[in-house]
Structure 1
Amino acid sequence: MSQLTAILVDDEISNLKGLEKKLNTFFPEIEIAGMFQSPEDAINAINATQFDVLFLDIQMPRIDGFELLTRLKHINFQIIFVTAYSDYAIEAFKQSAVDYILKPIDNDDLKVAVQKALANISSEKEKQSSSKLLDLLSDTVKKNKVIVPTSKGISFIPEEEVMHLEGYEGYTKIHLTNKSMLTSSYNLGKFEKALGSKFFKCHKSHIINLEHVRHFENEGYIVLDNDYRVPISKTNKKAFLNLFK
């Protein structure tokens, strides 16, 4: 796993040191970017630092944990509240905390909370990666190329060589005019958002290149080049036929 960073905020130094020790023991991949007893210092540091997880005490002098969050410019990190008072739980989750740990910290409770945070971070990074890919797909399609991420790398296929895209168990099979096929780990939906007007989704699992359409069969199939038959759903028949009026 790539290095992750955390900030710890608690007005008692013994609590900070104890949490730091537990994190170093159970999650060595998490680097402690800062530990703060003063909520004012914590606010300044958080606003100036990019990090992944905030471990935040609730009851602190002058500024409690909830008010601290309202003074931040952005909250683009996971929040785990650590406190001695269980009656703060409901309000904690209203603040979009990933979890809530009572003091003294139980090792298992800490592990569960951190694993939740790490899962959220991983999911968010995957979304960002997918978003970047979609942007790349869109830009490349404008240049008459379709990007196909595969297990071996990335293929750049001219639109006219893509005859049919088929969704299969979360993957996408790209059928080419030379009768070869590429398999991508990205689902059909990701390609659908990026493909241009030459392509038509005729079925929940099938997208065809309209330039390769040769025949429409009333029983529910579209015939492409090389007599390749693709099913078309009843709900998409009318939209498909209107394309040729």
Structure 2
Amino acid sequence: MKTLTAILIDDEISNLKGLAQKLGKLFSGIEITATFQKPEDAVKALKNQQPDLVFLDIEMPRINGFELLAKLKEIQFQVIFVTAYSEYAIEAFKQNAIDYVLKPIDDEDLIIAVNKAITVIQTKNDLENNSKLVNLLTNIISNNNKIIVPTAKGLSFIPEEEVMHLEGFSGYTKIHLTNTTTLTSSYNLGKFEKLLNPKFFKCHKSHIVNLEKVRHFENEGYLVLDTDERIPISKANKKAFLELFQ
């Protein structure tokens, strides 16, 4: 695992030193790049450069931990709140914290919270790297007229002419093929919309069709494919679809 960067924010210097020591002892793969006692200084720093992980005290003078996060337009880091009051826990999770630890910090609680954050960070990096790979491969094999489909088993390379339509559901995409089989991808339909060439038309918020497979347009709001499947087309997309054939 690559080294993760962390920033510690607490108005009490003794708490900062204690947490830094514990992290150094328990997690050799975490580099503390900065510590802040003044929340105002932390806000300025986080607006310019964000670490992987932020340990954030809740009770601080002038700006508390929740208010500090509200001042940031973008939050790419994982947050672990550090507090002496357990009643802050519910509010902490509403603020999308990965976890919280109570003062005085117990080693086991800290290990659980940090490991949870590391898992989220690694998963995010894996998804980003996979996305970069797909984009790269798309550029490389675009002349071969294939669609790259990330699946649970890896990557499938499907010739465009074998794709009937793509159907979005619950954040996933089901690819319907000419042989009546389907593939399910972890990519949502919007992601595929950006990767596909113009021969694919988004006729509905949940459907993209291969225009070469459309046999008939029904006035009541359906496209009929070569397989006799009827795919809904929204009123907003009817005009754009018909203009393609004028």
Using the size of structure 2 for normalisation, the TM-score is 0.67
CA RMSD in angstroms, aligned pairs only: 4.2
Map residues 32-51 of structure 1 onto 2, 5 A cutoff: 32-33=30-31, 46=33
Any stretches of 5+ residues in structure 2 without a counterpart? 85-101
| Residue aligned with 1:227, SS | coil
Moved more, 206-215 or 163-172: 163-172
* 1:153 alignment counterpart: 154
Q: 1:157 offset after TM fit, Å?
A: 0.8
**In the TM superposition, what whole-angstrom CA distance separates every residue of 1:205-242 from its partner, at most 9, and x where no partner exists?**
11000111111112221111132221111221111111
Does the Cα contact within 8 Å between 2:204 and 2:234 map onto a contact in 1?
A: yes
- In 2: Cα distance, 1:23 partner to 1:188 partner: 41
| Residue aligned with 1:219, SS | coil
Moved more, 156-165 or 100-109: 100-109
* 1:58 alignment counterpart: 37
Does the Cα contact within 8 Å between 2:151 and 2:184 map onto a contact in 1?
A: yes
The structure having more radius of gyration, on CA atoms, is 1
Does the Cα contact within 8 Å between 1:220 and 1:234 map onto a contact in 2?
A: yes
Q: 1:119 offset after TM fit, Å?
A: 7.7
* 2:92 alignment counterpart: none
Name the CA shift for 1:105/1:182 in 2 (closer, same or farther; >3 Å).
same
1:80 aligns with 2:55: yes
Would you say how many aligned residue pairs link Structure 1 and Structure 2? 219
* 2:163 alignment counterpart: 162
Moved more, 129-138 or 221-230: 129-138
* 2:18 alignment counterpart: 18
* 2:132 alignment counterpart: 132
- In 1: Cα distance, 2:36 partner to 2:59 partner: 9
- In 2: Cα distance, 1:72 partner to 1:66 partner: 10
* 2:96 alignment counterpart: none
Name the CA shift for 1:220/1:101 in 2 (closer, same or farther; >3 Å).
same
Q: 1:74 offset after TM fit, Å?
A: 3.2
Name the CA shift for 1:85/1:239 in 2 (closer, same or farther; >3 Å).
closer
* 1:37 alignment counterpart: none
* 2:217 alignment counterpart: 216
Map residues 181-220 of structure 1 onto 2, 5 A cutoff: 181-220=182-221
Map residues 65-104 of structure 1 onto 2, 5 A cutoff: 66=41, 70=45, 74-82=49-57, 85-89=60-64, 92-93=68-69, 94=71, 98=79, 101=82
- In 1: Cα distance, 2:185 partner to 2:166 partner: 10
Any stretches of 5+ residues in structure 1 without a counterpart? 35-45, 47-53
